[in-house]
Structure 1
Amino acid sequence: MGHGGNVIQELTTDHREVDDLFARIEALPGPDPQRRELADRLTMELIRHSVAEEEYLYPAVRRYVDGGDDLADKEIADHADVERMLKELEGCRPGDGRFDTLIMRLKNAVTAHVSDEESRLFPILADVCSADALEDLGEKVRSAKRHAPTRPHPSAPDTPSANKILAPGTGMVDRLRDALTGRGKQD
């Protein structure tokens, strides 16, 4: 969840963790219950990552990057699509055809989003921000991930100010629910 380094290093490491979770889900046979556990961990990581980006990365893109508003809006729209799929995935069980379909749709959407960030957005941000600004953003992103929700809330606002106000409380409720149900426990 928190790795260290500047914002680009932090988020890129998150991307590799998500890639690994997709691979682990796909490697298991259809009805294996561990696929549900891995899907829950995938959901938790994607939600925390998205909230942190919406709170800190995209405001920086808007501020420092020419055409940053359009870039940030596109990335936030990608997040909204992924969050809707994650909400739908919550109600699916491994072995259900919908589960596999949603995992594949999610993987395709997340892979495209990650590719866009890593090949286009991150290099632009690295060119226009100082090393200190990128380090500061990395710290803020790590902090946001610690307090972010762990479950999809597609109806929740996705603006930085709303996330900063609502995400810690929603995150606390989500983490309590996770603790009570054992959801997302590491092996």
Structure 2
Amino acid sequence: MPRLSDTICADHKDLKSYYDQIVQAEDEDEQTRWQNMLTWELARHVVGEELVLYPALKQHLNEDAAEDRQQHQMIKEKLAVFQNLKTTDPRFIPTMAILMDDLAAHVNHEERVDLTNLEKAISEEESNNLAVSFDRTKNFVPTRAHPSAPDRPPYQTAVGLITAPLDYLQDLFRKWPDSESTPNAPAE
């Protein structure tokens, strides 16, 4: 079974690959599909960390993750702008680049410090259980950025349970990359 750090780092790698797909896309339709994928996965990833990773940091390392939460808030605000841009908008690529720069800085710290310290403080079984919780949590959280939503349980969970079905309904009408190349992609 994968450890929590393996699961989160795999998500980070996927997010970077979605960004690369947008940059390398040959047309606007393909860019839109990958924009939706990046938005979908990043929104779910951020909330998954807030509901699973941050409480684990608090419990096992007595860290409140305040700086991480601030970084997530900035990422959610930038994602909210990016997710609503058309690929033809001249701000599309610059907005995405700024979002990904902020994400890269956050990811670097998280992988180097937070996850390393947490993995040292918990058993392999606990890490495996957190990885399962993280993956499971991403199945019921919003799929779009909602920066004005609460970022701490239990309010975050309650708002997420209300918001997520609306996001999932809208996702039915979005364009997605070919499911063969993206096993996590929602069905089109």
Would the TM-score normalized by the shorter structure come out above 0.5? yes
Match in the other structure for 2:56: 60
Match in the other structure for 2:160: 167
Match in the other structure for 1:112: 105
Instruction: Answer yes or no: is 1:28 the counterpart of 2:25.
Output: yes
Query: How far apart are the structure 1 equivalents of 2:109 and 2:155?
Result: 25
8 Å CA contact retained: 2:34, 2:177:
no
Once the two structures are aligned, what percentage of the paired residues are identical? Answer: 26
Q: Deviations over 1:9-60 (max 9, x none)?
A: 111110110010111111125x622112211110110110111110110011
Match in the other structure for 1:13: 10
Aligned residue pair count: 179
Match in the other structure for 1:154: 147
1:185 Cα deviation from its structure 2 partner: 5.8
Query: How far apart are the structure 2 equivalents of 1:173 and 1:93?
Result: 21
Match in the other structure for 1:182: 174
Instruction: Answer yes or no: is 1:127 the counterpart of 2:120.
Output: yes
Match in the other structure for 2:186: none
1:145 Cα deviation from its structure 2 partner: 0.3
Report the AA paired with residue 5 of structure 2. I
Question: Pairwise CA RMSD of aligned residues?
Answer: 1.6
Query: How far apart are the structure 2 equivalents of 1:85 and 1:183?
Result: 21
Give the secondary structure class of the aligned counterpart of 1:160: coil
Report the AA paired with residue 42 of structure 1. L
The runs of 5 or more residues in structure 2 that have no matched partner are 180-188
1:186 Cα deviation from its structure 2 partner: 4.1
1:132 Cα deviation from its structure 2 partner: 1.5
Q: Deviations over 1:100-136 (max 9, x none)?
A: 1111101101111111111111110011111111111
The one of the two structures with greater contact order (alpha-carbon pairs below 8 A, sep at least 6) is: 1
Query: How far apart are the structure 1 equivalents of 2:11 and 2:32?
Result: 20
Query: How far apart are the structure 2 equivalents of 1:182 and 1:107?
Result: 22
Match in the other structure for 1:92: 85
Query: How far apart are the structure 2 equivalents of 1:184 and 1:178?
Result: 9
1:61 Cα deviation from its structure 2 partner: 0.4
Give the secondary structure class of the aligned counterpart of 1:5: coil
Report the AA paired with residue 65 of structure 1. L
Match in the other structure for 1:80: 73
TM-score of the two chains, using structure 1 as the length reference: 0.89
1:140 Cα deviation from its structure 2 partner: 0.9
Query: How far apart are the structure 2 equivalents of 1:143 and 1:132?
Result: 16
